[in-house]
Chain A
């Protein structure tokens, strides 16, 4: 990625991604396939909608009582022998993790998937301190070797073709040139990562759920990499955002039923590990990270984004994500959920993201905790425009839109004009100044507007 692309916004990154049409179609289809698997899994559960409602209510309760739940969790976890740390910022989180590693005197650690550490840029921080982090999730290892960020929270290298992965492995792991068979490549990665597991005495993991009642943390993987790392290591560091708390263990029944089905269509992940106490002779650290979350709690409009359980369903279903790729979002978490989380961290830097949506609402429909994602995207647009952070292209369209929508007669007139334009002069609408038209085909214009139709009906006495 060159510097220019590092600062580019969603639209220009998306058009770069769209230069290779075949790849875009393939990306689109692959993710839609995952979305369909999710549907099949969900439809098998008659109480699915009820579970979503319960999950949403439990998370509402958590966000209204987070203070007490965190204290309860800390107390329980500590009495189980877990060392609990608090980090107000990403920087503090990184310092705490580094300090633990430094005291162990090691220069390499193994890490399983944690979006929080991506958010905090932990790998880069540790690298500067001379600590090598080996990402052990296959997908994350692949993007790590490619020196790229993950493009999806559940499927980190979904943007990569197997031939590209083969080339990476040839370069880094010494596999024969030109090999692209997934079974062969996975075996090569397994053998290589085993070596790292066998020699790492510190293992870092994310956390899917932390139970206030029992002080245990739950980590879900399909590959077994979190467990292989932790069970062999003397030190386990688990990093979590403060919103990962759930009140009681029995609530796991609800969340685990929803998580994997929403993510990949599996009935459950292969491993759902419940860490309650460290193993004899092992040290377990849990780092509770705020990094802007408590600030977001007060916002009625945007608070709900904190209910996210990171299943990725909103990305798989999103027509914009599927056709623009995860890297176009230039934030650790891509897709619709990333687009509502990022601007609360840095509104100026991520002002473009809430506009990367058609507001079709598909994300909100699949979200297992019922976050009103597309409504939040819409609200963010307004906040961003009000704060003057919008880019000139979209701002023009937006301002025109608000003039149009607030004045019925102009609306009717422009509508009539629009219908004529699309019919007779489509190139005037589908031009470079109209960002909406990029890669979109406009529908055939109706002969009458709804208003004209309604008026005719009225005059005809119907």
Chain B
């Protein structure tokens, strides 16, 4: 008997008597303003929310905040850093200073943004660049993770991720350091609709 059969048979003979799978509501009514809450949550985890009206708002902000950046890439065709075809070898992104990508929606309770592979160009872009910026419609913010998964079920993906702020560590005496392995900053541009 192979390991698979051994493990499965052992489980079958040992497992607990059937217990029900609970059903649950996903609409916990948090009456506060999702947009406001999202911005607060994002700031609290080290991210930054920036409201914009036109695409120029993004280029202006980048020029002002990150004047010394040499390599910026984006999957958004309206932006000057647009890369129509991403290279196959992700290692070539090592010197990318800033990636600007679209996100699907934000989550008010924790400041996270849901991003899937189709918006990344390559799966490595959100992690390998020194800084990250995501672009969201201001109206695309859900209240909780429960609502988030309701929405996720409608968008199929091969790789999807919640990104909540810059990468961070507190491993050295619990001192928070932004920029562990991934981006050192995360800006979310919220486009007025």
Q: Which residues of A contact B (CB under 8 A)?
A: 30, 33-34, 45-47, 54, 57-58, 60-61, 63-67, 70-71, 86-88, 92, 136-139, 142, 155-158, 160-162, 165, 182-183, 185-187, 190, 193-194, 197-198, 222-225, 227-228, 231-232, 242, 247, 249-250, 252-254, 256-257, 264, 266-277, 279, 281, 288, 290, 294-295, 297-298, 300, 303
Contact = CB atoms under 8 A, between A and B. Distances in A.
Nearest to A53: B22
A178 B114 CA distance: 42
A276 B158 contact: yes
Contact of A58 (B21, B44, B109, B153): B21
Nearest to A44: B109
Nearest to A55: B22
Contacts of B144: 253, 257
Contacts of B122: 231
Interface residues of B, number: 74
Contacts, number: 241
B165 A252 contact: no
Given A182-B177, A194-B181, A288-B7, A271 B169 contact: no
B172 A222 contact: no
Given A198-B91, A228-B181, A253-B148, A67 B167 contact: no
A162 B172 CA distance: 6
A35 B146 CA distance: 25
Contacts of B94: 194, 198
Contacts of B36: none
A190 B124 contact: no
B172 A185 contact: yes
Q: Is the interface of B mostly helix, strand, loop or mixed?
A: loop
A36 to B, nearest CB: 12
B96 interface: no
A264 to B, nearest CB: 7
B150 interface: yes
A267 B164 contact: yes
A17 B26 CA distance: 46
A391 B26 CA distance: 51
Contacts of A228: 124, 127-128, 181-182
Interface string B160-179: 11111111111111110101
B146 to A, nearest CB: 4
9 contacts: A64-B18, A66-B15, A139-B169, A155-B171, A231-B123, A250-B150, A271-B161, A271-B164, A295-B14
Contacts of A231: 90, 122-124, 127-128
